[in-house]
Every structure is written in C-alpha cells, then in structure tokens.
Structure 1
Amino acid sequence: MKKRIFPPEGARINLGLCVVLALFLLSSAALLPRMGAERASRNAGIVLDFRDVASLAASTGRNAEGAWGEMAGKGATGLMISELTGTQLSLGVLPLYYGPASGLPDAARKALSAPLSSAALFFPKTFPAGRKALPYLAARFPGMRTAEADGGTAVHLPRTLEELFLTGVLPDMDGLLLAEKLQIPVFYRIAPALPRDTAPSVSALDKLLADFPSIRTLAPAGETAIGFPDLRPLAGAVRKAGRSVAVVEFSRQLGAPQLNWLVFPSLLPLHSVTHEELLSRNISRAALFERLLRAVKERSVRLLVFRPSAMESSADPYGTFLSELGDLSAGLTAHGIAVTWPEPFSPWRTGIIGAAALALAFVYSLLRYLQRFFLFSGDDGRERTTRVSRKGALLLGALVLVTALAVRFVPPAARIIGALAAVFVVTEASFLALDGWRRPWAGLVGSFLFAVAGGLAIAAFFSEPVYMLRLRAFSGVKATLFLPPLLVLLADLRRREHPESLGEIFRRPPLWGELFLIGILLAGAGLVLFRSDNVQFVPAFEVRMREFLERILVARPRNKEIFLGYPALLLWYYVRKADIWPRYREVLRMATVLGFSSAVNSFCHFHTPLYFILFRQFNGLWTGVLVGMMGIVLLRFVILPLWEKYGRMVTE
C-alpha cells in the first residue's frame, strides 16, 4: 500500500505558516487574562512625601492642608508617611520634645522616676496628635510610663537614646491625621526595629492600621526589613488588615523578597528616586520626568514617589513643584494612564493552553534547527524538500502534548523549556531571515512574524502575576544573547554558508581581517552581556538618544534591533546577492541573530504591557529597515569603492 503523506499530493501547505497561526491562536487565548488585567490597571498614583508637602507649604506661609488641596488639583494622589526614627525626632520633625529624660520638666521627671539618660518624649498640649500617639507608644514600648505635667504629657520609653537612634519610635502623626481628615490614601514606611522589638512593633502596626484606614499600602524602610529573617508576623499583620505592600523597584533590602512572597498577590510596584540619588547622579528634572513616565508605561509601575528638586534653584520652589506635578500628571494622562490610586492584581493561571503554546514553539523550533543542521545540501545551501507523513504529524503532536504536560505540571521543566524555547525561537527566526536572501521581503516579514509568534508563545505561559510582578525571573534572557549566535555559526560552518568548515579554518594561517573581526565580535559580545540589565553602564549620549526616540516614537525600539539586527540583515541581503566578501559576511549573520535575540527578549519582560511590546516590535521593524537601507546606500557608494581601492591590502 502506498504510504500516505502529509500534506497530500497536490496540496500546498506551508507547515511553518500553520505553526505561526497556531501559535497566535493559542497565545491569544492564554493571554486573555493578562490583557484584561492590563486594561483594568491602566492607572498609577503620584505619591508625595508628607514632609516635602509640609516644607513647601511652610516656605510660602501656607498650611499643609491648603498646600495639599492645590497639589491634589495638579494630580497628586496620595501621601508617603513614615514612622519616624529617634534621629528624625531629635531634629524637630514634630513639634514635641524628644531626648534624654533629664530634659523633661522637673515635675514630670520626678513623677516618672526615669533614669536621666533614658529616652523620653514630651507632648505639649498644643500638639493635638499627642493623645492619639499614646496608645501606639504603649503597644510599641511595653513598660512605657506617662506623667501629666504643666503644659503637656511626659513619656518615658524603656530604651536608651542609642538604641532608638536608627529605629522607629513614633509615626508621623501630623501626616496621618491630615490624611485621615481629608481621606488621602497613604503609603506608609515602617522604620527598622531592634530584634527584641519586632513583636511589639508589629503589634503597634496592627493598632495603627486599625485606627487609620487611610493607610492603603506599606513597605519596610531601611536596609533590612523589620523582623528579618522571619517576615511572617509582618506579613500576617498586612493580610489581616487587608492592605497591600509596595514592591520598590531596584531595592536591595534584605527581607523584601520574602515579604513580597508572603503577601502575594497584594502587591503594588513602586518607583522612587530619593533626594540623595537626585544629587549623587545629577538627575535633571527633565530626566526625572522621563524616568517616571517610562517606569509606568514600560514596566507597569503603579505608584510613583515624586519629590521636589534637590539641586535646581528656583525663585518660586512651591510654584515650580506645582507646575512639574501638573506636567507629570498630564504626561501620564496623555499616554492613556488614569492618575488614581491603584489596586493590586487578582491572581490567575495561564493553564494548559499557555503550556501548549510554549511547547509548540519549543518543539517546532528545535526540530527545525535539527533539520537545518542535518538535512541541508552542502553544494548549494538549499534545504532538501521533505514531506511529513501522517505518522510523523502524529509524532509531532505527541511531542508537543508531552512537552506541554511537562511544562504545566513540572515547574523545573517549565523553566528549562522556557529558556530553551526562547533560544530556538531566536535561532529559527534568524534562519528564516538569513536564508530568505533570494526573496528578501518574504524573508524579512516571515522572520518577523515568527519571532513575534514565538515571543507571544513564551509570554502565553509565563504571563502570570508572579512573573509580571517580578517575584520570579525568566531564566532565558542571558541564554538568548549567547546560544543562538553559536547555534547559527555551527550550522553555517556545517552547511558551508561560510566558505570553509571549522576544521579548514583551524588548519590554515589566520588572516588579519579575520583576527580583527574576531576581536570586534568578542568585544561586542562581552559588551552585550555586560550591558544586559545593567542600566548604570549606559553612557549619557545614549540616554539622550533613548529619550529622543521615546518622545517621537512613544514605544522606543531596542538599540540592538534598530541599529544592529535589521540593518545587518539588509546588508547581508545585499552582499549575499552580490556574492562579495564570502569570508567576512558571517559577521552580518551574527549581528542579525543578536537583533532577533533582542526582539524575542522583549516578550520575556512580562512586566511590560503587551500592547507596548507589540508597538515596540513594529517600530523596531520599520526603523531598523530604514537604517539598513541607509547602510546599503553607504556601502554601495562609499565603502565598496574604498574596499576596491584599499581592501585587498587588508585581506592579502
């Protein structure tokens, strides 16, 4: 009996196109919860430090309540209020006495019978928050004693001043009372505590959250989260009160990851630039504006802490800050982001459909690489035509099913397969582009669609809140920058895309031009790997260029796409059709692979809104093609004439 084949004789079915369509369908279904969550969370809150508000208000003769009314009108959404440390209280942040008991009024000191060097507070009757603070202090400092004296209330704290120097003593009661009066949402910072004071501190926080419902979100302050290494008491207080925790971007605080896991999914990403950072990094107001706007639109940050200038002088600091606040609010609104207090994600799972999309992308890309590596003719580099029997199609489906089940139910397998899927999707997209030199536009569009489909398939499985909130990191980002160029190079040497095999290259003396290119490639690879996720290594001129591209394109393409990947691909098409530089054009293929690595990596940043990633991919395509066309013009009319005149001296 004649063996039946798939597709049947006479039918013209493009298997790759079918896979791309299947990836789009599966990914779209699996990504529906993420897209719904992103639509529902198109908002961000602008948070002001209450102490900044009070300081600016005092500088103009206003009170804090009046200043807040004007700032809220410009877009301010909430207040950041801190638990004050002994150092802050001793500097007079609140209108009360804090210091050694020896500084208390005589009657109060005698009534308390406290050691003269112990820590003490004195609440004058003119300080209305004193009575509100006493129950909190009683919970925070068991054994605390109070005494009434002329003009106020004295409090003895059973701690030394040294012990409370950098630890929390009292909430900023002025701010809390103002927020409660005006119903302002509060982001509360919990100060550090001595290890023996962890339980009383959590108990005091319980009381504070019960008394001040305006506290909506909180986070520990300092280098170490209060209670570390056991964050369960603090997390329990947060969950009991129904509050959320702020995930502070780029924070290296000890204990913060544990706390975030314990309160998940009640988390809100927050971006803050401190006064110290503004000064030390010389961040201008324009750069700060761009940075805050980028945090929301590119990384789905939900809370922004906005501070007045720490270095740029102004004749009217209050008016300048109001203007900047209005500009930030207007900038967010212009990008479709509502300036309101946000709510955390509700959890969801992508399920078996997302696992199937990831499995299909991995299995198909892996098999295509093996096919390209072993089933190419060495004579002309063309792929041998193959048909898939029905048995082969069933085997492919079975492989996808088994892989999908492993992805869905075996977490270690999901991490490994996810990383490998990214590697082989990049590799297959690169081959589709590079091997399409006979029909450049078909190769360009086909490779772009496959890269997008494969990126969506990866996102389809990993688009869950634990990844979107960056509690878990995707393990394939670094691998896509290193492995795909290596895989493409090995296949090129085997297929004789490069005119020599690896053995032949090693058996002959190296050429100076090859040594130069190898040095450039190694330096470039090192730079790419070092720069990955290392924002401090970005030079100033590149920062300015990025900001310019963001202003004109909204979704700025990645540099490796716009200036490397797509331009190198177009240059490859030109030199391959002209059949020139056979020993040196491999560098263009490697550069193209890095461009597709960047494109697929964009989908692995699960905290970036999906629509923004797709917009960025489109911008990367047309701008990269435009730059590539300019590169071809430069090559044709400048470089080639110079090469004809001087290039042979380098290669001989």
Structure 2
Amino acid sequence: MEKWLKTLLVLFLAVSIISSGVALLPRLRAESAHNLIDGALPYADLKNMAQERQTSIEEVARLFKEEAGVNAILYKEGCIQDLADDGRIFIANRQEMVLSGWRENLPFKGGETYIVTAYADVMERVRRHLTEKLGGEKVSMLPERDGFYALAVDMRPSLVDAIGVGFDRENVVKLENMGFHSVFMLKDWPDVSERGIRFVIKDLALTGKNISAVLFENKQVLGYPKYLPVLAEEMNKHQLALGQVEFYNQLGFNQLATFLDKRVIRMHSVTDQEMQTIKPQELVDRLTLAARERNMRILYFKFLPAPDSERRFNINVEYMEKVVTQLKTAGLRFERGEGTMPRPFEPIHQSRMLLFLIGLGPLAGGMLLLERLGVRRTSILAGITALGALSLALAFFAFPLLTRKVIALASVIVFPTLSIIYLVPRQGLKPWHAVLYMAQMTAFSLTGALMVSGVLADISFMLKLQQFSGIKVAYLFPVLFVACAFFMLYGEGTPGERLKKLMDQPVLVKYLLLAAVLAVVGVIYLTRTGNEAAVGVSTLELKFRALLDRTLGIRPRTKEFLIGHPLMLVLLYLGYRDHRYLPLLILGSIGQVSMVNTFAHIHTPFIISFVRSINGFILGIMAGLVLMAVLQLGRLLEKRWRSG
C-alpha cells in the first residue's frame, strides 16, 4: 500500500472517531438528564393492606412514603367484576331480574346482562364507560326501583365482567394531593372503537394530573391495529407518556411509540410467580440494576408475601427503602408532586452527513485489515475504498436505518480483529511490555466501541424500539477470523501448503479432546450472548454477579476478566510462536470481542458500559499477571527438577 492511501485511511479513522464523539454528545446529555425515577406501589395491594390493618389507603400510603421513600402508585383499571367483588354492584341475568321484581320494560331479547346498584355515582360511572365503549345501542337504563339503579347490556355476562370502568377518581386525587405520581394500566374491551378510545384517554386525563405513564394490560396496545393513530392523537393531546414494561412485548407498541415521537418511559416489573420465591436482597439487586444499567425509570414495587400483615408491611418497606437509598446514591432522584414525574428522553437528531463520516471508520479499518492479510496492491485497495465510500453515501439515502446497523456491525467486527492481528507478537514480551501492548490493543478495540455508540446514538435504540442487529455474528466472526488470519500469516510455506499439511496430519486423541473442549466453550459463548440468552444463569453465578455489583458498583463481564483478558495477556507474554498457541489465541480474543460488543447495548447508559469495560480490563490484567507468575514459577520449578 502506497503512503498516500495509508495516510488517507488514517485520516478516515480520525474523522470517524471525531464524528462518533460528536454524535455521542447528545446521547450523553440525554442520559445525564434522565435521572427522575418513580417507585410505584400496587394500588390493589395498598387497598388490601389497608383493610387488613383496618385503616385508610391514604394512611398506608403515607407510611410507605415516609419509611420507604416511594413516590408513585400504579392503578390497574377496575372492571365490572371488581365492582361486584367489592359489593358495589350486583350482576344478574334476565331470569334473576324477573325474580327480583323487575318484570316490566326489560330491553333486548334475552342473553343480556344486568347491573344493579344502590349507588348513583357508581351507576353513572358504569353507564358512561359501557355506553362510550360499547355504543349506546347496546346499553339501556331501567327506571329506578326502590332506591336501586339498573342498566342492561346487550352482551353475555362472561364478556361484560372484564370490561374496564376506569379508576376511583376520588382516591387518585387524594393520593396525588399527598405527592404521589400516578401510573395507569388500561384494559382492552370487545370491538374497540374510535369513540371509546377518545373517551378513555379523556377520562384518564381528568382522573389524574400527575401521570407518569400509561400502560396497557393486554398482549396488544389498545386499538391495535386500526385505531393506533387515534390513540396516539389523544395521548399527544394530553401529553401522556407511554409505559414500556421490560421483557413484555406488545403488538403495536413500537408503532404507537413512533406516533408519540418516542415519548416512552421504561418500567421494570418482577412477575407474580417470581415474587413468590425471590429473596428480598435478590429483589433489591434486580431493581437497582434495572434502573441503573437499563434506564428503567418506573420500578414496580410489588409486595413480597409474608404470613401476617405487620410482617408483610415491614419486609416490603425494608426492601423498598434499600432500593431507593441505593439509587439515590447512584444519582437518581425520587421526587414527589406536580411536574416531577420521570421525563422521556429528549429527541436526538443526527445528520446523515455525520453518520456517513462515522461509517468511514470501519471502511478504513477494513482496508487496513486487508492490507495486513496480504492485499497490498494500492489500486485494488483504493478501488475498494472509493466503491465503499460511494455505496455508503447512497445507502444512507435509500436505507438509513439499515445502514446505521451495518456500520455498527462492521465496527464491532473490524476493530477487535484488527487490534489483535496487529499487536500479538511472534516472540514473547516482558511482563510490563505485555501489559503495555494489552492497553494499546484495548484502546484500539475501543475505537470500534466509540463508533457503534455514535452511529446508534438515537432514542429508538436507547428505548430498545430498535436494536443492534447481528449480535451472534459480532461475537463469533471476529474470533474465527482471527484464528484463520493467524493460520494464514504464520508458519512455513504458503497458506495452501499449510492447510494441506494440516489435513494430512494424523488426529491424536488429545487434539480431539481439545477440539471438544473448544466446541463446548464456543457453544456456551454463543448461547450466553445476545439480547435474549438461550442458556440460563446458575444460582451460584447470580450470587457471584451480585457480589461483584455490590463490590465494584458496576460488574464487568465474566468472560472478559476471567477468560479473555488474562489469557490474551499470557499470549502476549509467551508470543504466538506457532499454531500450538491457537487455542490460547481463540480464548484470549473473547475478551476484546466481548468488550466492544458491550457498547452495542445502547439501552445501557454509555458511562455504565465504559466503566464496566475498564473494570473488566483492570481485573483481567490482575488475573493475567497472576497467571504469568504461575507460569514463571512453573518454569523455575521445572528447571530445578531437571537440573537436580
């Protein structure tokens, strides 16, 4: 490669690094400002505890506010059956109404449902919701009789029972006046209509004034797919934020979030089944981790079970107080009152020119990689560079989102691969030289991390509405590429001759066992990566992770500081003398590859990923130095044994 082309590629790298930093700045500002958080109590559990303690809901809420520091209530929309369970209404069929004396003027033709109550306000609430949601033609009021109110619904009781009837507005107002924020979860209903959606959102806006987020109970958001624009219009009108429950994928959610200009608040909730067995400290660790490392800004503080009311109160206050205290220490704020709800991320707008400049980085890195592998003709490399730059520019106009993902994938593949190929020596290094080379390798690999962080610096990725694509490829390809590259670059004869010689070698049992071990490691390595890992985590490992979190604040990746970094440091110390060191190279490469891929999780704040990587590097160096000392001691003992 001629000097002018190498200079141009280095310039491309410099421009890409600077552009990545510029693109990253608004993300850093958004993450820094995103520090308000809600700890939300379940209204239903508050209500049950108030009944058990024979006191008011407000009194129980006050105790949790003062002793645990919580600041929000999550209300699930009540339904017809809930009102019946509370004794506020009676649900009847036509025959039961006749037997009760309601014989005249019964509407419809049979199969309908009747709702009877002695409370005028309850009847008005039920009538409004059923009329607006189902249509006036399906709801008919009966004349008042002996102080009782009744209405008929032209629908089977099994369908009517689950229809939502809004929220207890009086209690919501009381709790908001105490400083609590409100999180509302809405129910779906049969044959959702535009009229019903507009009514529900308007009614919700009248119910609470300090609304942190709106959630939807079903597997699909309200009105999906036909009425999503209507729902978005109403939510925009009242500036309502959409709640995103982690690990709970709803049909239509991403589309609705886009209509709302990504006005989304992320929430973490532990399942009811897990709450029955989880230990309090595990719950504390899980909730604090979700808020600190995954931008969860509503934590659903479900109640842990206990044998009696007093014990249940104490154990839940204790775990909630720990969560609040730890997150306050981490810089998050649990505020109360109007205008202090968690705020959605401010929109981030990146120009296509800036993103194009970032894309020049992995393109230049790819050319340097080709040159290192033996493609040295300037005309070929220059042609590929020109064609790549032109294709990149055109791709940003035709497929901007896909192009960003491709650049991100290229960044996490090219730079750890390039750093390993350039810096692993044939001959061994002195210990302090090995540490220096390891630092250089890590710094160069992290340029790829900076590029992926910059090119994907967008609210869609921060909210996981969009995700980094190709994560399995990003973990596997660099390791395989490095192994193949070293096989081609080192050894006697041409790569073809070395391959033929390898294929002609007899297979010994020890090599079969080594291959089997590497295969198992590879399977575990791949299945434990990605957004949804296929292999679970053992209880022992969870405890180890929690210990690291509490000790270091931010836990490094195990495969980096226990496997990849120490073994890479040992390889630098020993040198890649021949292909016997290939297994060590493969395992050592895992650290660099994993470290860069950490930054592909854009929903994790950048500073968290950075500190995680630094912690992993430092611990990995310490572990590697221990291994080097063990090797030196082993060599010394072997030398003495042979001489003696």
Query: What do the CA deviations read for 1:72-97 (whole angstroms, capped 9, x no partner)?
Result: 3332222211223455444x147433
Residue 648 of structure 1 is matched in structure 2 by none
Whole-angstrom CA distance in 2 between matches of 1:19 and 1:622: 30
Query: What do the CA deviations read for 1:153-192 (whole angstroms, capped 9, x no partner)?
Result: 3232232112234443554556545446556432211212
Pick one of 427, 435, 439 that aligns with 1:441. 435
Instruction: State whether structure 2 residue 550 is matched by structure 1 residue 551.
Output: yes
Question: Which residues of structure 2 form unaligned runs of 5+?
Answer: 336-340
In the comparison of the two structures, how many residue pairs are matched? Answer: 618
Q: 1:135 to 1:169 in 2, by over 3 A?
A: closer
Residue 538 of structure 2 is matched in structure 1 by 539
AA aligned to 1:30 is A
Give the drift of 1:291.
0.8
Residue 328 of structure 1 is matched in structure 2 by 323
Does the 8 A contact of 1:348 with 1:465 survive in 2?
Answer: yes
Whole-angstrom CA distance in 2 between matches of 1:604 and 1:575: 32
Question: Which residues of structure 1 form unaligned runs of 5+?
Answer: 377-385, 646-652
Instruction: State whether structure 2 residue 45 is matched by structure 1 residue 52.
Output: yes
Which of 46-55 and 175-184 deviates more?
A: 175-184
Pick one of 479, 483, 505 that aligns with 1:485. 479
Residue 253 of structure 2 is matched in structure 1 by 256
AA aligned to 1:529 is L
Whole-angstrom CA distance in 2 between matches of 1:225 and 1:268: 15
Instruction: State whether structure 2 residue 373 is matched by structure 1 residue 373.
Output: yes
**TM-score, structure 2 normalization:** 0.86
Query: What do the CA deviations read for 1:205-261 (whole angstroms, capped 9, x no partner)?
Result: 133134224344212112333333333333333223321111111113333333333
Pick one of 606, 611, 628 that aligns with 1:610. 606
Does the 8 A contact of 1:356 with 1:404 survive in 2?
Answer: yes
Residue 424 of structure 1 is matched in structure 2 by 414
Query: 1:187 is paired with a residue of what secondary structure?
Result: strand
Pick one of 632, 643, 647 that aligns with 2:628. 632
Query: What do the CA deviations read for 1:334-374 (whole angstroms, capped 9, x no partner)?
Result: 11111242111221222246424532320222012111111
Residue 66 of structure 1 is matched in structure 2 by 59
Q: 1:14 to 1:417 in 2, by over 3 A?
A: closer
Pick one of 201, 205, 220 that aligns with 2:216. 220
Q: 1:101 to 1:456 in 2, by over 3 A?
A: farther
**TM-score, structure 1 normalization:** 0.85
Give the drift of 1:624.
0.8
Q: 1:357 to 1:52 in 2, by over 3 A?
A: farther
Query: What do the CA deviations read for 1:503-533 (whole angstroms, capped 9, x no partner)?
Result: 2211221232322222122211111221223
Query: What do the CA deviations read for 1:525-578 (whole angstroms, capped 9, x no partner)?
Result: 11122122345611111111111101111111111211111011022123328x
Q: State how 1:295-306 maps to structure 2 within 5 Å.
A: 295-306=290-301
Give the drift of 1:201.
3.5
Residue 405 of structure 1 is matched in structure 2 by 393
Q: 1:60 to 1:115 in 2, by over 3 A?
A: farther
Residue 144 of structure 2 is matched in structure 1 by 148
Give the drift of 1:117.
5.5
Does the 8 A contact of 2:16 with 2:357 survive in 1?
Answer: yes
Which of 245-254 and 18-27 deviates more?
A: 18-27
AA aligned to 2:27 is R
Whole-angstrom CA distance in 2 between matches of 1:176 and 1:98: 26
Whole-angstrom CA distance in 2 between matches of 1:639 and 1:223: 63
Query: 1:322 is paired with a residue of what secondary structure?
Result: helix
Query: 1:611 is paired with a residue of what secondary structure?
Result: helix
Does the 8 A contact of 1:141 with 1:200 survive in 2?
Answer: no
Which of 440-449 and 66-75 deviates more?
A: 66-75
Q: 1:407 to 1:541 in 2, by over 3 A?
A: farther
**Cα-Cα RMSD:** 3.5
Pick one of 502, 506, 510 that aligns with 1:509. 506
Q: State how 1:151-162 maps to structure 2 within 5 Å.
A: 151-162=147-158
Give the drift of 1:203.
3.5
Whole-angstrom CA distance in 1 between matches of 2:96 and 2:175: 32
Pick one of 467, 471, 476 that aligns with 2:465. 471
Query: What do the CA deviations read for 1:51-84 (whole angstroms, capped 9, x no partner)?
Result: 1111122222221112222223332222211223
Q: 1:553 to 1:371 in 2, by over 3 A?
A: same
Give the drift of 1:275.
1.8
Whole-angstrom CA distance in 2 between matches of 1:414 and 1:638: 49
Give the drift of 1:299.
0.7
Instruction: State whether structure 2 residue 285 is matched by structure 1 residue 290.
Output: yes
Does the 8 A contact of 2:198 with 2:230 survive in 1?
Answer: no
Whole-angstrom CA distance in 1 between matches of 2:15 and 2:390: 17
Q: 1:4 to 1:422 in 2, by over 3 A?
A: closer
AA aligned to 1:63 is S
Instruction: State whether structure 2 residue 489 is matched by structure 1 residue 495.
Output: yes
Which of 115-124 and 289-298 deviates more?
A: 115-124
Which of 425-434 and 450-459 deviates more?
A: 425-434
Does the 8 A contact of 2:453 with 2:600 survive in 1?
Answer: yes
Does the 8 A contact of 2:24 with 2:454 survive in 1?
Answer: yes
Whole-angstrom CA distance in 2 between matches of 1:186 and 1:228: 24
Q: 1:109 to 1:322 in 2, by over 3 A?
A: farther
Whole-angstrom CA distance in 2 between matches of 1:81 and 1:371: 62
Does the 8 A contact of 1:361 with 1:425 survive in 2?
Answer: no
Give the drift of 1:458.
1.3
